[in-house]
Amino acid sequence: MTHSTVAEIRALCPRHAPPQCPQWLKNRLRSLGLWAPCRLLRQSSGWQLVRRRGCRAGRRVQLHRASATSPQVSVSILPTSCSKVTFGCLNVRSLLNKSDDVIEIIRDRRLDVLCLTETWHDADSVCVCRLRNAGFNVVDRPRPRVVDDMSTNHGGVAIVSTECVTLSPVAVASSSTFEHTCTRISSGRFSCITVVLYRPVSAVVQQRFFEDLAALLEQVATYQVPVFITGDFNIRLDRPDDVHAVQLRQLLGCYGMIVHQTEPTHQLGGT
């Protein structure tokens, strides 16, 4: 590598006639980010270097002049849409004291959408407000209380997403055999319908459950976007001889749906 001498560098600041800058020195200064094209103006005190402003500077001056005479307008910058949407689903077993854990899971797993079941929350619970204050979008459906007391409100479902994902609740028929929330999820060109469903494990599987689920599938099947149903059915799909598992698979197959999760979904095993 060729090194420049002190005299050659000092010669770049002329007092009289400007010297010719060697090409290798010009390339070296440009690689270091020190090269700035200038104009040589002859003043009464001698030659002076005036840095070129370029076309961008001219536009900046014009914008500055225009802003001095035009009213100020505040512009809000929206987050850019995600090019890839990553989903997750979790039986949180009470969101009341796990808001920080949910935020940590979303950030560590780099999730865009997290579906929650068994949130155990009410409409005015602080845990949902904390998620919204942290910048997340939340669509939730707490379990309606039968008795207005201070007991734990079991059940409940929710969908939490990052700022770049838009959640739009979709109105569907209610059910007495399971809890659910239906939401249109959009990000950029991506759009889908997501249903988070929770059937209590304490309730016996009845034929009414499949009738209510069929009515729900009939409604969401009318949308011309992909449909995802996630949550806790509390039906053992890992048992091929289970009559309820067979009926559930047949019902989903009638609407062109398949069960994607084939690995254990419970900490004690089982799907």
Tokens 């997750």 belong to 88
**How confident is the model at residue 78, as a pLDDT?**
41
**How confident is the model at residue 59, as a pLDDT?**
47
The 10s digit of each residue's pLDDT in 159-211 is 999 999 999 999 999 999 999 999 999 999 899 999 999 999 999 999 999 99
* Higher pLDDT pick, 263 / 66: 263
What is the separation of C-alpha 3 from the centre of its chain, rounded to a whole number of angstroms? 51
State pTM to two decimals. 0.69
- Residue 57's φ and ψ, nearest 5 degrees, are -65, -35
- Residue 46's φ and ψ, nearest 5 degrees, are 130, -170
Q: For 87-234, which CATH superfamily applies? A: Endonuclease/exonuclease/phosphatase (3.60.10.10)
Give the residue extent of every domain in the chain. 6-65, 87-234
How many other C-beta atoms lie within 10 A of the C-beta of residue 120?
A: 20
Report the DSSP pairing between strands 190-198 and 227-232: parallel
